[in-house]
């Protein structure tokens, strides 16, 4: 049930929809990397098929659009809100107020456009086999990254949705998600996947610490930003090392 709950929350894939509280979703977070693996399989399969028919840039563009569609833009929305707050606010209170505003601002628009552009360019510039490995593994590691942000950093809005979600994520969730991420990275990513295993948590801890210094903690939007940037980090490393 927890896997299906995680899959239903993170994607638009058809699966049973359970009545879930934020704490329930937090308790399902140990399954996030496996939900990311299913997403990665679909993206890699789609990219492999498109690459037979289209030039690399077009195939990468369609894959990036499908990536956003299958996830409902959930983490892209968090990325946009986070950078709107950072760029438009001048203190903790004003940044959090901007992040709560559903309207897209200039900084958020730039962040989303930049994320999509980087994903497309990195996929198009990576050798085909490595691109498929990266497409499979990036969603796994991005969702694994969320677990570190939730476990090791306080909430910027105590009592809010993000805080309740965070409280449901226990050490057991972190251990379960880490075991899945390590096995998937080692099995599918080769040496590059293994190198990412320490780099992703290190990036999460540094980026989250910076966000917490600006916001007084993290929010649900922060988790989305962590996921998106960790995915891009994964794609970057596959491009550089292959």
Alpha-carbon distances of 94 from 19, 89, 100, 174, 217, rounded to whole Å: 33, 5, 10, 32, 14
| pLDDT at position 216 over 90 | yes
| pLDDT at position 219 over 90 | yes
Q: Which of 136, 128, 140, 99 is nearest to 222 (CA)?
A: 99
Task: Indicate the domain borders of the chain.
Answer: 2-7+22-241
C-alpha–C-alpha distance, residues 91 and 130, integer Å: 42
Which range scores top for mean pLDDT: 16-20, 63-67, 89-93? Answer: 63-67
| pLDDT at position 18 over 80 | no
| pLDDT at position 32 over 90 | yes
Q: Contact 92/216 with Cβ under 8 angstroms?
A: yes
Phi first, then psi: what are they for 18, rounded to 5°?
A: -100, 145
| pLDDT at position 102 over 70 | yes
- Can you read off the two tokens belonging to residue 20? 């879930």
C-alpha–C-alpha distance, residues 118 and 76, integer Å: 13
Residue with tokens 């833009």, as numbered in its chain: 73
C-alpha–C-alpha distance, residues 61 and 83, integer Å: 23
Burial state string for 43-76 with b = 16 or more CB within 10 A and e = fewer than 16: bbebbbebbeeeebeebbbbbbebbbebbeebbb
Determine the pLDDT at residue 175. 95
C-alpha–C-alpha distance, residues 95 and 219, integer Å: 11
Determine the pLDDT at residue 196. 92
Give the whole-number percent of the chain exceeding pLDDT 70: 99
- Can you read off the two tokens belonging to residue 98? 């901007």
pLDDT classification of 59: cutoffs 50, 70, 90: very high
Mean pLDDT, rounded, for 91-101 = 92
Sign of CA dihedral 211, 213, 214, 219: positive
**pLDDT tens-digit readout, 179-211:** 999 999 999 888 889 999 999 999 999 999 999
Q: Which of 40, 75, 105 is nearest to 226 (CA)?
A: 75
C-alpha–C-alpha distance, residues 14 and 7, integer Å: 9
Which range scores top for mean pLDDT: 49-53, 100-104, 162-166, 237-241? Answer: 49-53
Q: Contact 44/136 with Cβ under 8 angstroms?
A: yes
pLDDT classification of 101: cutoffs 50, 70, 90: confident
For residue 176, give the H/E element and its range.
helix 171-188
| pLDDT at position 242 over 70 | no
Q: At 155, is the secondary structure helix, strand, or coil?
A: strand
pTM: 0.95
Mean pLDDT, rounded, for 103-132 = 93
pLDDT classification of 14: cutoffs 50, 70, 90: confident
Determine the pLDDT at residue 89. 87
| pLDDT at position 57 over 90 | yes
């Amino acid at each position: 049930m927890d896997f299906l709950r995680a899959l239903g929350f993170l994607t638009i894939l058809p699966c049973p929809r359970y009545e879930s509280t934020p704490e329930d979703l937090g308790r399902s977070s140990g399954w996030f990397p496996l939900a990311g693996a299913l997403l990665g399989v679909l993206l890699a399969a789609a990219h492999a098929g498109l690459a037979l028919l289209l030039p690399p840039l077009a195939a990468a563009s369609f894959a990036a659009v499908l990536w956003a569609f299958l996830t409902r833009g959930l983490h892209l929305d968090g990325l946009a809100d986070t950078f709107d707050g950072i760029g438009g606010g001048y203190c903790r209170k004003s940044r959090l107020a901007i992040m709560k505003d559903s309207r897209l601002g200039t900084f958020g628009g730039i962040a989303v456009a930049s994320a999509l552009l980087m994903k497309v360019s990195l996929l198009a510039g990576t050798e085909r086999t490595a691109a498929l490995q990266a497409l499979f593994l990036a969603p796994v590691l991005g969702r694994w990254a969320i677990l570190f942000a939730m476990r090791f950093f306080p909430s910027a809005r105590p009592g809010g949705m993000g805080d309740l979600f965070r409280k449901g994520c226990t050490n057991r969730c972190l251990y379960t998600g880490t075991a899945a991420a390590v096995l998937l990275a080692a099995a599918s990513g080769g040496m590059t996947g293994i190198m990412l295993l320490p780099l992703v948590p290190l990036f999460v801890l540094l980026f989250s610490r910076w966000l917490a210094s600006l916001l007084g903690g993290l929010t649900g939007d922060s988790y989305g930003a962590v996921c998106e940037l960790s995915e891009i980090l994964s794609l970057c490393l596959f491009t550089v090392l292959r």
